[in-house]
Amino acid sequence: MKALNIVAAFLGGVALGAAAGILFAPEKGEETRRKIAEILRQKGIRLNRAEMEDLVDQIAAEVKDAE
């Protein structure tokens, strides 16, 4: 069970890291959300539009706090 939690945390970190990297790219918000959704789909994670917007807001807040 612990190994599964570690793998889940690692995959979550990878997804958040990739999403944060995309957020720094100078593109429109819609294009950024599309890229994040594509990366998550490749990882087998499906989110609806509201969940995606919440994720983007959460990542943006974490990136802003890290500055």
Polymer length of the chain: 67
Closest CA to 41 of 27, 50, 52: 52
Confidence grade of residue 1 (pLDDT, cut at 50, 70, 90)? low
Q: The pTM is what?
A: 0.41
What number is the average pLDDT over the span 10-23? 76
Residue 16 has pLDDT above 70, yes or no: yes
Considering only residues 42 and 5, tell me which one the structure prediction assigns the higher pLDDT: 42
Considering only residues 23 and 7, tell me which one the structure prediction assigns the higher pLDDT: 7
Which own/partner contact pairs does 62-65 have at CB distance under 8 Å and 24+ positions apart?
Answer: 62/16, 62/20, 63/20, 63/23, 63/24
What number is the average pLDDT over the span 42-50? 82
Closest CA to 25 of 65, 63, 66: 63
